[in-house]
Amino acid sequence: MGAYLLRRLALVVPTLLGIILINFAVVQFAPGGPVEQMLAELKGNAGSTLGRLSGENQGETRETRRPETQGASESAGRYRGARGLDPAVVAEIERAFGFDKPWTTRLGEMLWGYARFDLGRSLFRDRPVVDLIVEKMPVSVSLGLWSTLIIYLVSIPLGIRKAVRDGSRFDLWTSAVVLVGYAIPGFLFAILLVVLFAGGSFLQIFPLRGLLSPGMEGAPFAARALDYAWHMVLPTLALIIGGFASLTMLTKNCFLEEIHKQYTVTARAKGAGEQRVLYGHVFRNAMLLIIAGFPAAFIGILFTGALLVEIIFSLDGLGLLGFESAIRRDYPVMFGTLYVFTLLGLLMQIVGDFTYTLVDPRIDFEARR
């Protein structure tokens, strides 16, 4: 197992490199980069400045202008929109964003930084990307961890019960319920929860934004824990509503397959009780795929399922950070989050393989060579 893990870890580096190179190449041909975004913003500021100058005092206009673009806007304000911006302003923006260098130089600097886990600085937030990811991580981890745990704690007992009572009325109506839940998009259910329970049109029971209420940072641990759980109720419900169906049906089918195998018939013939057969013999074999898939399920919910939920409930997590970075073409944040997501995903796949050996020691990946 040790040699297998070393080989898998060695494959992480070329996999990461390939993903980064492909996305870097795609971005080079994508229109509307960060320079174009800033130029469009400056042109808009210049146009609005000219309009205000016709009826307002010029000094008052300068006070209301964004400080970081004041000098550039003053220079751009001398031109009409059709004549564009001062080339010196454009060159300064390109230099500030690093786009005055060849793409090979930018790629080499980025890869060298990633090798040292230096993900650069955000173009528009002017903060290290690592700090942004660390700051947003608790929100996304909270959503992913609690959602995955609740889905497993409900789906596994339910799937076992459905397998034992296969074809019964209980099996039919529970299948209908979980499939209806699976058919409802998570973001639509989130909006429904907001309308019903977060002050939308009916009740104001749960808060709508953040993980803690204002002023709770210095409260006792028990009070902060209760307030945190109170804030997590609606976002967690929105994430788990569609997660029960696949895991419940997978658990049921795994148990049904094992229940009808020869070793369970032999165990019953020797006088073993139903609970002993089910949990002493069937459980380990049937739960192999389910337990080993926990890391992948957690990563899936953490990085793909929480985006719209974070936006709807105003949770400042990784999903919202990635969405805003993609909209603004904040390339350091985009590539930094991609790097972290891919690295965690690859490591979690290795953890999943290792979990197989823990659940069933008979599995030997070395023997597969």
Spell out the domains of the chain, with CATH numbers in brackets: 34-116 (no CATH), 130-368 (1.10.3720.10)
CA–CA separation, 252 and 163 (whole Å): 5
Give the list of residues 6+ apart from residue 356 with CB closer than 8 angstroms, or none: 288, 292, 363
Pair of tokens at residue 116: 């040292």
Pair of tokens at residue 44: 């808009």
| DSSP per position, 180-220 | HHHHS-HHHHHHHHHHHHBSSSS-B-S--SSSS-TT-TTS-
Pair of tokens at residue 128: 């290290």
pLDDT tens track of the chain, all 369 residues?
A: 677 778 888 888 898 888 888 888 887 777 666 767 677 666 665 554 434 434 444 444 434 444 444 443 433 333 333 345 667 766 776 776 677 778 888 888 888 888 888 888 888 888 899 999 888 888 888 888 888 888 888 988 898 889 888 888 999 999 999 888 888 887 788 888 888 887 767 777 888 777 788 777 778 888 888 888 888 888 888 888 877 888 888 888 888 888 878 888 788 788 777 777 777 778 777 777 777 667 767 776 666 556 778 878 878 888 778 788 888 888 888 888 888 888 888 888 788 777 777 766 666 666 555
Angle at which helix 331-359 crosses helix 318-328, to 10 degrees, equals: 140
The one-letter amino acid code at 225 reads A
Enter the pTM of the model.
Answer: 0.70
